[in-house]
Amino acid sequence: MKGNKPEYFPVLEDVLQAAQIISEISEITPLTDSIRLSKEFNCQIRLKREDLQRVRSYKIRGAFNKISSLTEEERGKGVICASAGNHAQGVAFACCHLKIKGTIYMPSVTPKQKVEQTKLFGGEWVKVVLQGDTFDDSSLAAKIHGDQTGKIFVHPFDDPKIIEGQATVALELIEQAKKPIDYLFVCIGGGGLASGLISVFSQLSPNTKIIGVEPKGAPSMKSAIDSGAVITVDNIDKFVDGAAVKRVGDLTFPICNYYLDDMITVDEGKVCQTILDLYNRDAIVVEPAGALSIAALEKYKEEIVGKNVVCIIGGSNNDITRTAEIKERALLYAKLKHYFIIRFPQRPGALKEFVVDILGETDDITHFEYSKKSSRENAPAVVGIELKHPDDLQPLIERMKNNNFYGDYINDKPDLFEYLV
């Protein structure tokens, strides 16, 4: 426990009431054994499958609980929210179900799949506005519009009714587990789900260690905990869109700061490899934020041996058009994909020589582009090479240098590299 005890803390009675309210629309999602992960980490690992909710994420719980709590006068004004996708779908579903007009702001970079699903769930009751590059940009625009129109703002995480709604995951989990849970891994964006879980587990299962997990490129909760106060992280990687927020909640931070047993980050590349493993080996489709809790297991592989572990899969709203980027990031993280500036010697057959003599037997060229299209015969080329094993890199570089092909290695040069990936 760190810092001061939070002033706001969900009461179990309110969480039980939320469970009753959302029961008419929310699924009781399964807690399933993962044979593969249990063998890999030598413990019992189970997955709380919130990706199987009606809107394919846990966000429907908090959204429906909040909107259901509005007075008739407030419902008449309509609601407004900002979301990177999952909260938007929960709000859209609630608006349609309760017949309340809603306006939903989403970042312009939101995957198309999430935008289309939001429109589908909301139907005629919801209007979607794409504005801003991040959740925080969209949130600001939504709040301004709400102030101007009098619409009720439905916050994605920093609201008691939202937190109490998300806390219903914990009620189900404790009942389904049958025996004490030693470790619980949970994705953190703004902290609503984690705060809800903490409120229930601290009262009903206080010995459970709760580990918060954020993407390395958007460490808003970890930065706040390290600083001892809520701060704004200006530059974030938006890839894990469901957890990419610049600033956590004023209500959620004190709860997470005081009660979380650990707050860790996971590289986006590791998240991508986890997505691919879940799809290829377990037939489970998850979005980047949904994979965070499982991606974190590697960092706790020694502590969890022989333990009863639960990972919450928060959502599965992934856009299939992102598959190429997910694979690319996974290969880069595994050090199996490398980009070079190749300067072909001015001699006949140089390209053939590079393919036959420089590349290893299992090396594949996956990207090839001359840097100067007007003078290809004399221009260096940007070449992407996929390896079978990370140890193949150094021998490849040595062969390039010995035969005067090597120009530069650009994986570690962000200014050049960002234009390729």
Provide the 8-state DSSP code for 57. Answer: B
Residue-wise pLDDT tens digits, 270-302: 999 999 999 999 999 999 999 999 999 999 999
Six-digit token string for 82:
């900002």
Question: Does residue 1 lie in a domain region?
Answer: no
Residues 198 and 307 placed together within one structural domain of the fold? yes
Residues 41 and 180 placed together within one structural domain of the fold? yes
The residue from 102, 132, 160 where one domain ends is 160
Nearest partner of 186 among 214, 154, 212, 204, judged by Cα = 212
The residue from 296, 326, 356 where one domain ends is 326
Cβ-contact 202, 255 below 8 angstroms: no
Residue 66: give its domain's CATH number.
3.40.50.1100
Report pLDDT for 419. Answer: 58
Our measurement of the distance from residue 98's CA atom to the centroid of its chain's CA atoms, rounded to an integer in Å, reads: 29
Question: Does residue 218 lie in a domain region?
Answer: yes
Report pLDDT for 95. Answer: 97
The residue from 257, 292, 326 where one domain ends is 326
Backbone angles phi, psi at 347, to 5 degrees: -150, 150
What distances in angstroms separate CA 139 from CA 157, 210, 277, 299, 420, one per listed residue? 12, 28, 33, 33, 31
Helices 168-177 and 59-68 cross at an angle (nearest 10°) of 130
Residue-wise pLDDT tens digits, 367-376: 998 876 545 5
Residue-wise pLDDT tens digits, 47-90: 999 999 999 999 999 999 999 999 999 999 999 999 878 999 99
- For the entire predicted model, the pTM comes to 0.91
Number of domains in the chain: 3
Residues 6+ apart with CB under 8 A from 89: 55, 56, 57, 59, 60, 83, 114, 117, 118, 121, 317
Task: Please provide the average confidence, as pLDDT, over all residues in the chain.
Answer: 93
Domain that holds residue 260: 12-58+161-326
Mean pLDDT of 262-271: 97
d(CA 37, CA 50): 18
Q: Which pLDDT band holds residue 1 (cuts at 50, 70, 90)?
A: low
